[in-house]
Structure 1
Amino acid sequence: MRIKKIQLKQFKRFDDLTLDLGNEPRKIIALVGPNGCGKSSIFDAFEAKLKNFRNYGDEGNTFYSKALFYEDQQHISQSYSHNNSIIIEPSLITRKSFYIRTSYRFTSKLNVTQIKALPDMLSDRSEPISTIALDTRLESNYKRLIGNAQEQFEEGSQTYNQVKEALIGKINQILRSVLDIEISSLGNILKQKGQLYFKKGNTKDFPYSNLSSGEKEVVDIIIDLIIKVEKYTETVFCIDEPELHLNTSIQRKLLIEIEKLIPENCQLWIATHSIGFLRALQEELKDKSQVIDFSADDYFTGTKIINPIKPSRQNWQRIFNTALEDLTGLISPRKIIYCEGRDSPGRGGVERGMDAQVFNTVFAEKYHDVQFVSSGGNTELDQRSDIALAILTKVFSDIEILVLKDRDMASGRDTDEQARQLYLNNNPSNHRVLKRWEIENYLFDKEVLQKYCLSNELNFNEEKYDSEITDIINQHVKDNLSLIKNICGITTNVTPDIFKINLSKIITSDMNVYQELENCIFNRQ
């Protein structure tokens, strides 16, 4: 099961909120934002839907209903119904549709004294009933491990040690990749050792109770998911703040392993503002995840729609700001590309160079760790990039600095493709040159202008374009803005730089113009 859309009406603190993930939702949905922004309320909505399938545990309508909670006298007489207040697509919900872990789950000790028949997992009452309820499932999970070992041993096809290794082998494989511990023994209830035992380095058979808080957190989550994924199929697994007690390195590794445990026909929802988890979402899991950013607006009041963010540098910087606050400035781009344009910044360091603004717009989503910076004309580019190389590479060891020039780099004299290749062959490998004369030769490409006209309901005059723009590669089109306006049917005045930046906003990775620019800049072709 993969959720496409959720609508919450008068639910908890929300008036009318819709989360729209599109027709092809991804496997991982990350809810990010500061404390109190409503992330956990999404899981409470899922939890409320499960009330249709179980007759125990209920926080009461005042916990879920906004009108009842705030005692709104105009609506106090209205009866609350989670079926009307919570609308989920797809709408077919079963007892296995949601599996939720709360952030309240600190099992400090295990002390099991007896084993008896356990209820079916779907009837297990140890699960929490809301995101503020305590999650105490570790003990029942331990009992299930022991029970499974006993059951398989009684079948007689394997020795007890073989059964034990099969049960804990997968757990240990993950523990070794995330931490430096592993389970050494399932304990022995008959000898009053009813808990898990571990080894770390040369230390063996120390009890679960001696693990650190972070180690317990990892063990708890991994065992829980390994046991539950066999039963919970077509399920949305929800974990509220899984980073508790964990440092950023472990957070990152843990999320990567959690994703591997979740079947492909399921979905993983996490509520987080952890640096480690955000890094995993930004890099290793970027193609499998969508991020819902609650920090961008007040989503409690009025009718609001949240869509997954585009993974641009600007969006990631805002999200990391939630986790790092004033330390966000320490997150530097991994690649700085100096290009031509106005070199003096605006207030607050805002980029004023048109070329840099265009490139940052075009490549923001795919190359979120790249920053284009305008640095004056052709000569200034070489000087300033050399200074930056000498200084920044000493401070940031993994930073890369490139120089990007227009093909009109010969002081107005014509330079053809042969001259371009000669320049590339006789200059350092961090130098790049556009295939076309300058940036306007890409922005005024027929492919771009047609798409712009279509999106703005303008009539594109293709016949006039073909007769006037005869060589988009080499023709000096920069000063032909009036002609371009006429071809696009624009009758009003336009500010040249703003118009060009708006053109750059519609250039996407499936367009030939994008691919040519990408090859010039990032592949040095």
Structure 2
Amino acid sequence: NQIGYNESEWINCFNVRTPYRNIGTQGGGVNDSTELKQRTWQRLIDGDPFFIHNWRTLCSQWIKDSSDFIVRGDYSRWNKIIQDTFFPIEDSLKTVLGGNWKISNLGDIKQNRGFMFEKDSITLVLDQLSSGESAVVDLVLNHIVIKKEFGDEVIYVIDEPELHVASAVRGNLIGELFRLTPDKGQLWISTHSIEILEKSLELYNKNPSSVAFLDFTGKNFDQEETLSPVEPTYEMRSRVLEHSIGNLKDRLLPEAIIFCEGEQETKRGEYSDEVYYRKIFEGRWPIVDFRSVGGKEDVAKEIDSSTQMTEFVKDKNVQILGLRDRDDLADAETILMDYLERRIRVLPFRTIEHCFVQPDALRKFCEDHQLEPSFLLNEWNRIVEERKKREGKEKDKMKWAIQELHRKVR
């Protein structure tokens, strides 16, 4: 929101963690500058020993804050400082890793020997933690220390936060880092982890304005590229799966598979029904897949043949549904039986194309593209009159009409 910031001021808002994070107790040339831009890395291929610096900073600040109260014997205030300093770290570790975590000892600052912990009454020095536990401690500590030092307006950048962290923990970690990020701050992550994507989708569905997705697919960063937020589509999720688990992604299914009308192979400039449905519902149902299988009879056949995999589908909690055009079907009882017995839904319009030319849809399109409100509606009424004079099947005439309207829009 700081429109007036220049480049150097923007850089001073970033806290960058590279994928080469080193939680070892050795030093690493970390600058003690009070400016955040001097405390971050210029290249993401550099080693990142910020853990030890954050740990020393936290300990030093605690000693500074508490020394006066210890001298005066004000132990109630001293205990409050202990709670404010260390309880947030312990609470975050419990949330992410489970179990009962406590910081039992600050360690030895002179020897760079970091925290000692109690985990479910077992004492552990930092070196005894697993690599995943160490990674969680590192990232949680970083968030808390940077906020204490530099305030709320910080952009936390983490390259591959999933490194060393077990799959079962990754979602918890991102959820906790998201919670720790101040309202005026931002959390930027780059990831190939499906668990982190799923957690991000969960946060997005709760509050779409709080999460944005950037897709680098097809981008050439050897030249200037403009990145804009995208909807979290099923295709994007599938690509992350492919990066994460390769060919195993084909064994994973969406929450629902909906067979619809339309040919999979279409002429140039035409689209199958599955493309329309995915585009319409991608923001609301990002993990539902639409598949064109032919005509309405083919939709029914696909639904029937899916009964052969009923047990597998039930085991994976995947719904199999059908979706067809209304066409000339006017029998409400037949539509109801299709709905109840065959799991086939029927559109309220003759075809999917008819949905696009409803007056409300045309007016909304004009509103979104700064066109005269009645422009498309008037054009459509003119095209409809021409359509009546054409010969052929109604579906073919409708496709012609849609293409005519599309030419007008272009």
State how far apart, in whole Å, the 1-side matches of 2:87 and 2:97 are. Answer: 15
1:146 counterpart residue number? 59
Contact 2:383 2:404 in 1 (8 A): no
Q: Which amino acid aligns with 2:358?
A: D
Cα distance change on mapping 1:120 and 1:378 into 2, 3 Å = closer
Cα distance change on mapping 1:209 and 1:461 into 2, 3 Å = closer
Q: TM-score, normalised by structure 1?
A: 0.61
| Superposed CA offset, 1:40-71 (max 9, x none) | xxxxxxxxxxxxxxxxxxxxxxxxxxxxxxxx
Q: Determine which of 267, 271, 287 is the counterpart of 1:369.
A: 287
Contact 2:257 2:288 in 1 (8 A): yes
List gaps (5 residues or longer) in structure 1: 4-87, 112-117, 470-475, 492-502, 507-525
Equivalence map 1:95-114=2 (5 Å): 96-109=12-25
Q: Determine which of 232, 237, 247 is the counterpart of 1:316.
A: 237
Contact 1:440 1:478 in 2 (8 A): no
| Superposed CA offset, 1:66-91 (max 9, x none) | xxxxxxxxxxxxxxxxxxxxxx9775
Contact 1:341 1:374 in 2 (8 A): yes
Instruction: For residue 434 of structure 1, report the CA deviation from its aligned partner.
Output: 2.0
Q: Secondary structure, in 3 states, of the residue corresponding to 2:102?
A: strand
Q: TM-score, normalised by structure 2?
A: 0.76
1:246 counterpart residue number? 165
Instruction: For residue 333 of structure 1, report the CA deviation from its aligned partner.
Output: 1.8
Q: More helix per residue: 1 or 2?
A: 2
Equivalence map 1:403-414=2 (5 Å): 403-408=322-327, 412=328, 414=330
1:169 counterpart residue number? 87
Q: Which amino acid aligns with 1:277?
A: I
Tell me whether 1:355 sits opposite 2:268 in the alignment: no
Structure of greater relative contact order (alpha carbons < 8 Å, 6+ residues apart): 1
Instruction: For residue 239 of structure 1, report the CA deviation from its aligned partner.
Output: 1.6
Cα distance change on mapping 1:461 and 1:219 into 2, 3 Å = closer
Cα distance change on mapping 1:280 and 1:230 into 2, 3 Å = same
State how far apart, in whole Å, the 1-side matches of 2:379 and 2:220 are. Answer: 48
Contact 2:359 2:377 in 1 (8 A): no
Contact 2:11 2:37 in 1 (8 A): no
Equivalence map 1:74-153=2 (5 Å): 93=9, 96-109=12-25, 121-122=34-35, 127-150=40-63, 151-152=65-66
Contact 2:194 2:240 in 1 (8 A): no
State how far apart, in whole Å, the 2-side matches of 1:106 and 1:281 are. Answer: 26
Q: Which amino acid aligns with 2:167?
A: T
Instruction: For residue 223 of structure 1, report the CA deviation from its aligned partner.
Output: 0.9
Residues paired across the two proteins, number: 383
1:275 counterpart residue number? 194
Instruction: For residue 467 of structure 1, report the CA deviation from its aligned partner.
Output: 11
Instruction: For residue 319 of structure 1, report the CA deviation from its aligned partner.
Output: 3.8
Cα distance change on mapping 1:447 and 1:91 into 2, 3 Å = farther
Equivalence map 1:95-494=2 (5 Å): 96-109=12-25, 121-122=34-35, 127-150=40-63, 151-152=65-66, 154-155=68-69, 156=74, 158=76, 160-180=78-98, 182-187=101-106, 189=108, 194-202=113-121, 204-232=122-150, 233-285=152-204, 287=208, 288-301=210-223, 303-342=224-263, 346=265, 354-391=272-309, 393-394=311-312, 396-408=315-327, 412=328, 414-415=330-331, 418-419=332-333, 422-423=336-337, 427-428=340-341, 430-449=343-362, 460=376, 462=378, 465=381, 478=395, 480-481=397-398, 484=401, 488=405
Q: Secondary structure, in 3 states, of the residue corresponding to 1:293?
A: coil
State how far apart, in whole Å, the 2-side matches of 1:173 and 1:385 are. Answer: 49
List gaps (5 residues or longer) in structure 2: 386-392
1:69 counterpart residue number? none
2:388 counterpart residue number? none
2:390 counterpart residue number? none
Instruction: For residue 109 of structure 1, report the CA deviation from its aligned partner.
Output: 3.5
Contact 1:252 1:279 in 2 (8 A): yes
Cα RMSD of the aligned pairs, angstroms, is 4.2
Contact 2:384 2:401 in 1 (8 A): no
Contact 2:353 2:398 in 1 (8 A): no
State how far apart, in whole Å, the 2-side matches of 1:123 and 1:314 are. Answer: 38
Q: Which amino acid aligns with 1:176?
A: K
State how far apart, in whole Å, the 2-side matches of 1:487 and 1:192 are. Answer: 77
State how far apart, in whole Å, the 1-side matches of 2:284 and 2:113 are. Answer: 51
Instruction: For residue 172 of structure 1, report the CA deviation from its aligned partner.
Output: 1.3
Cα distance change on mapping 1:378 and 1:94 into 2, 3 Å = closer
Q: Secondary structure, in 3 states, of the residue corresponding to 1:184?
A: strand
| Superposed CA offset, 1:96-155 (max 9, x none) | 4222222222122479xxxxxx96743897654543333333233223333343323633
Contact 1:239 1:271 in 2 (8 A): yes
State how far apart, in whole Å, the 2-side matches of 1:124 and 1:90 are. Answer: 13
State how far apart, in whole Å, the 2-side matches of 1:380 and 1:356 are. Answer: 14
| Superposed CA offset, 1:22-42 (max 9, x none) | xxxxxxxxxxxxxxxxxxxxx
State how far apart, in whole Å, the 1-side matches of 2:219 and 2:110 are. Answer: 57
State how far apart, in whole Å, the 2-side matches of 1:191 and 1:94 are. Answer: 35
State how far apart, in whole Å, the 1-side matches of 2:42 and 2:402 are. Answer: 61
Identity %: 23
Instruction: For residue 313 of structure 1, report the CA deviation from its aligned partner.
Output: 1.9
State how far apart, in whole Å, the 2-side matches of 1:173 and 1:328 are. Answer: 35
Instruction: For residue 384 of structure 1, report the CA deviation from its aligned partner.
Output: 2.6
State how far apart, in whole Å, the 2-side matches of 1:468 and 1:210 are. Answer: 75
Cα distance change on mapping 1:177 and 1:192 into 2, 3 Å = same
Cα distance change on mapping 1:442 and 1:219 into 2, 3 Å = same
Cα distance change on mapping 1:421 and 1:216 into 2, 3 Å = same
Q: Secondary structure, in 3 states, of the residue corresponding to 1:218?
A: helix
State how far apart, in whole Å, the 1-side matches of 2:241 and 2:349 are. Answer: 37
Cα distance change on mapping 1:377 and 1:210 into 2, 3 Å = same
Contact 2:321 2:344 in 1 (8 A): yes
Q: Secondary structure, in 3 states, of the residue corresponding to 2:124?
A: strand
